[in-house]
Amino acid sequence: MNIYKRFISYYRPHWKLFAFDMFCAFVVSMVDISIPQILRFLTNDLFLESKYVILGYLPYIFAILMVMYIIRMLCQYFIGSWGHIMGSRMESDMRRDLFAKMEELSFSYYDNHSTGDMNARMVSDLFDISELAHHGPENLFLSFIKIAGSIIILLTINVNLTLLLLAIIVFIVIFSGNLNIKMRRVFMDNRRKISGINVSLQDSIEGIRVVKSFANEEAEAKKFDKANNAFLKSKKDSYMVMGSFQAGNGFLQGLLYVAVLVAGGYYVAQGKIKATDLAVYALYINVVVAPINILVEFLETFQKGFAGFKRFIEIMDTETEIKDLPNAVELTDVKGKIDYDNVSFSYDGVSGILSNLNLSIEPGKIAALVGASGGGKTTICSLLPRFYDVTGGSVKIDGKDVRDITQKSLRKAIGTVQQDVYLFGSTFKENIAYGKIGATDEEIIEAAKKANIHDFIMSLPDGYDTQVGERGVRLSGGQRQRISIARVFLKNPQILILDEATSALDNESERYIQNSLDELAKGRTTIVIAHRLSTIINADIIYVIENGTVKEKGTHKELLEKNGTYAKYYNMQFK
């Protein structure tokens, strides 16, 4: 769909507000156009009558003009208030659509795009789009009515003088169009540079503990200055273009007055125009110049809004790699049998991560994945809930290819406990309840007890209503991990993935967490990624992953007897 049509489509839900906004703009324009014409009539006709006739009509003139300006005031109020509200509603609609699209995008998109850039598109871009949505049609309509109406009236006064003014106006349009192309480029560059600032700012703030621990505040300041100066240069370029635009238009608008004074004086001397009509003509120049100034200012709004909308469309048009097939089925009555059949995978389509990988896990059993970092263990687990799709082979649950299953039902059947736990900046209750939206307090407490975090929560002044702080910074690693485990208990999935869930903990915390994980794994098909081999000795089957394929498989005892790669890892840790 054409980008302009897509922009216009956001007006449809608010067409009544838009229509009345345009009607009010029309009324304001007609009042402004009619005042000089009323003055012309009064000076050429009524004010030439006797003073008694003039005095008799003055009350009526006052009443008519007051009514006109009261109506204009009410229309201007509607434009300034509800016109902006309409723009804000459109902005809200776009933000809703953008957020929904961001939620829909696959992990691969976020692998290549920063959240700072996404935040810029969600906030500053959409604000500029909102300003364009409100002021764009209104300013164009106001300007067209005022300019067209004024030109028609001026033609009735003197055709030759009006044609001269039209020639200057055409030159203004040509001049504006040429600079408009330059402004489009610099405003798009503005958007890219402000995204760079957001990225730099987010990195420094989110990593503030690392920055301070290495005393690298000065290095971060230099990085930020680089992004900030790049944005400053881009802004300088845009203001240079805007300065040329405004100065050039100011000069050309001045030519309109010069033309009226010189050419108009000539026609007065020739008797082709009345002096009073020339004065009215000069008033109409103001009516024409005002919308031209509005259009000059509008061009900046248009460039910013249009640049923002193009960036908005870039995201909206991004292909979502992970989609439900039209005939996708719900995953029900899950037994938990998992099969990876000749699975190959690459993140970039060039470098292979997995190659013809085969592994199988029986329902209710525990399978461990071990091997060197970068061998593909986490990737194997990411393919099961379809965070990424295989590039070859298939991943199956209970004999069903995960690509044939709806994502929602698939991910409801799988619970994940990771090393890096993300907690939302809300209460303990809300963070645990994320595992099952709408869970009762009793369910939340039961899940916390199973995760061995209930007693700690109850020791806090506000109990479950205590705020955890941004990303849980007030909690220890073990406490954050137990909240994550409580979430999964509440979710109660049939399949469990433990991705190095205890590797970042001290020995005491690990014992507590391991007890919770053992309880969580009971009766569930479980995949465990672990570097500490002591945690997976009792696994039903262990797969040694090396260079994206299965190097060895068997129980702990069988693999030690083979005296291969697993035995080497085990001896390195314990002997």
Low-confidence ranges of the chain (pLDDT < 50): none
Supply the pLDDT for residue 114: 67
Residue 148 lies in a domain: yes
Q: 445 and 513: one domain?
A: no
Q: 342 and 378: one domain?
A: yes
In CATH, what number is assigned to the domain containing residue 466?
Answer: 3.40.50.300
Strands 338-346 and 352-361: antiparallel
Q: 78 and 152: one domain?
A: yes
Q: Tell me which DSSP letter residue 125 carries.
A: I
- Is residue 25 a contact partner of residue 138, using CB atoms and an 8 Å limit? yes
Q: 407 and 469: one domain?
A: no
Supply the pLDDT for residue 74: 94
Supply the pLDDT for residue 48: 63
Residue 325 lies in a domain: no
Which of 492, 526, 543 corresponds to the end of one domain? Answer: 492
Supply the pLDDT for residue 49: 64
**Domain carrying residue 424:** 420-492
In CATH, what number is assigned to the domain containing residue 33?
Answer: 1.20.1560.10
Q: Tell me which DSSP letter residue 421 carries.
A: -
- Long-range contact pairs involving 266-270 (C-beta distance under 8 Å, separation at least 24): 267/158, 267/160, 267/161
Supply the pLDDT for residue 88: 85
Q: 406 and 340: one domain?
A: yes
Residue 82 lies in a domain: yes
Supply the pLDDT for residue 266: 84
Which of 492, 515, 539 corresponds to the end of one domain? Answer: 492
Residue 368 lies in a domain: yes
Look up the pTM and report it.
0.70
- Is residue 106 a contact partner of residue 322, using CB atoms and an 8 Å limit? yes
Residue 171 lies in a domain: yes
- Is residue 325 a contact partner of residue 404, using CB atoms and an 8 Å limit? yes
Residue 379, both tokens: 């990737």
Supply the pLDDT for residue 523: 84
Residue 389, both tokens: 């799709």
Q: 247 and 391: one domain?
A: no
Residue 328 lies in a domain: no
Residue 397, both tokens: 């649950």
Q: 300 and 405: one domain?
A: no
Residue 118 lies in a domain: yes
The owner of tokens 């120049």 is 285
Strands (E), 108-199: none
- Is residue 79 a contact partner of residue 72, using CB atoms and an 8 Å limit? no
Maximum distance among all alpha carbons in the chain?
A: 124
Q: 55 and 171: one domain?
A: yes
Supply the pLDDT for residue 419: 75
d(CA 306, CA 299): 10
Number of domain units in the chain: 3
